């Protein structure tokens, strides 16, 4: 119950900041809309007409997951950096809920808020382009949730390292390309990537959207890998975050950024 209060406070903060930085929010909305429309019309214009639908779905799924991965994994690093620079990280460190719960609720709140926005814009773009993607919510949602759990684990790892390494920003810049690689490369090309965070989930969502597979049609192996990835990466993410927090506290790094 107390965690729900932390989550609700952070979702409220997210909405307040979207409202307060209205020009940025509008710019973000316009950018997404233009990108989606560009994808719809661009692939229609220059792509192979026989595979046009599959290409559009492939690119859009990859783009949305890349955005989510960047949001969850990269954004939390920037947030920790900002909090430490502003001096508010220590205030969060004094909460009896623990920094990890606050950071997790930040991850959840930014994901929920921005995901709602991006899905809304996707539907608006489909309406504008007159092309409708196969969105099987019942099949996509459980895969998405498990995929996000593994992304949160990765986000916690980055958040932990950001607390102790000052020069992490340079790495965060590079990380966005690594994330792009993980989301855009199909598993058929590199099957071992199934055990990397969120890659299996992205592949399964593509399978649902492009080939119309339902959740019940996936094999036990696929679902097991997805569940294993979620538990493993979240567990390891939390472990690393707590170790980094302890290290930062023993070296007095929460304030001296």
Partner 1 sequence: MAVKIVEVKNLKKSYKKRKTKEYITAVNDISFTVNKGEILGLLGPNGAGKTTTIKMICGLVVPDSGAITINGIDNQSKRLRAQEHISAVLEGNRNLYWRLTVRENMEYFAGNRGKSRKEVTSQIEELLHQFRLKDKENEMVNRLSRGMQQKLAIAVAMLAGSEVILLDEPTLGLDIETGYEVRELLREIVREQKRTIIITSHDMDVIQDLCERTVIINSGKVVTNDRVENLMKLFEVRAYVIKLDGHLSEEQHHLLLEKFPLLVYTPDTFQSTLEVELTQSQDIYELFDVLKLEQIPVDTIDRKTINFEQVFMKIVKGETQDAVSERA
# residues contacting partner 1 (CB under 8 A): 33
Residue 163 C-beta: closest distance to partner 1, Å = 12
Rounded Cα–Cα distance for residues 207 and 38 (Å): 23
Residue 138 interacts with partner 1 (CB under 8 A)? no
Residue 214 interacts with partner 1 (CB under 8 A)? no
Look up residue 21 and give its DSSP letter.
Answer: T
Residues 69-98 contacting partner 1, CB under 8 A: 86-88, 90-98
Is 26 or 255 the residue whose CB approaches partner 1 more closely? 255
Alpha carbon distances (Å) from 153 to 50, 109, 147, 186, 238: 39, 15, 10, 22, 7
Residue 166 interacts with partner 1 (CB under 8 A)? no
Residue 49 interacts with partner 1 (CB under 8 A)? no
Rounded Cα–Cα distance for residues 248 and 244 (Å): 6
What is the residue whose two structure tokens read 């205030």? 91
Residue 27 interacts with partner 1 (CB under 8 A)? no
Tokens of 241: 């975050």
Alpha helix ranges (H) inside the chain = 2-20, 22-46, 52-69, 75-86, 89-93, 99-129, 137-164, 168-184, 199-211, 220-251
Alpha carbon distances (Å) from 119 to 74, 111, 114, 200: 20, 12, 9, 21
Residue 23 interacts with partner 1 (CB under 8 A)? no
Is 87 or 191 the residue whose CB approaches partner 1 more closely? 87
In the shown chain, the binding pattern of residues 98 to 137 toward partner 1, with x for contact by CB under 8 A and - for none, equals x---x-----------------------------------
Checking 184-187 for CB contacts under 8 A at 24+ apart, the result is: 184/62, 184/66
Residue 168 interacts with partner 1 (CB under 8 A)? no
Is 64 or 168 the residue whose CB approaches partner 1 more closely? 168
Residue 7 C-beta: closest distance to partner 1, Å = 9
Is 20 or 137 the residue whose CB approaches partner 1 more closely? 20
Which residues contribute to the site for partner 1 (CB under 8 A)? 2-3, 5-6, 8-10, 12-13, 16-17, 20-21, 86-88, 90-98, 102, 246, 249-252, 254-255
């Amino acid at each position: 119950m107390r965690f729900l209060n932390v989550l609700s406070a952070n979702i409220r903060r997210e909405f307040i900041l979207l409202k307060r930085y209205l020009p940025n929010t509008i710019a973000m909305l316009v950018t997404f809309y233009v990108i989606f429309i560009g994808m719809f019309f661009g692939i229609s214009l220059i792509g192979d007409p026989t595979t046009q639908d599959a290409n559009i779905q492939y690119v859009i799924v990859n783009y949305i997951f890349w955005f989510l991965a960047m949001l969850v994994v990269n954004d939390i690093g920037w947030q920790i950096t900002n909090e430490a620079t502003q001096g508010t990280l220590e205030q969060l460190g004094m909460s009896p809920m623990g920094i990890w719960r606050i950071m997790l609720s930040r991850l959840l709140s930014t994901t929920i808020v921005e995901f709602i926005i991006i899905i809304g814009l996707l539907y608006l773009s489909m309406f504008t382009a007159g092309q409708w993607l196969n969105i099987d919510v019942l099949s996509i949602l459980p895969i998405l949730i498990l995929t996000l759990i593994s992304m949160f684990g990765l986000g916690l790892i980055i958040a932990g390292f950001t607390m102790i390494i000052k020069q992490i920003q340079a790495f965060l810049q590079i990380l966005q390309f690594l994330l792009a690689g993980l989301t855009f490369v199909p598993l058929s090309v590199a099957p071992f990537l199934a055990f990397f965070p969120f890659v299996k989930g992205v592949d399964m969502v593509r399978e649902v959207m492009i080939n119309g597979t339902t959740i019940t049609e996936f094999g036990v192996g696929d679902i097991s890998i997805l569940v294993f990835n979620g538990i493993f990466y979240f567990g390891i993410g939390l472990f690393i975050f707590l170790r980094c927090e302890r290290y930062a506290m023993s070296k007095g790094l929460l304030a001296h950024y």
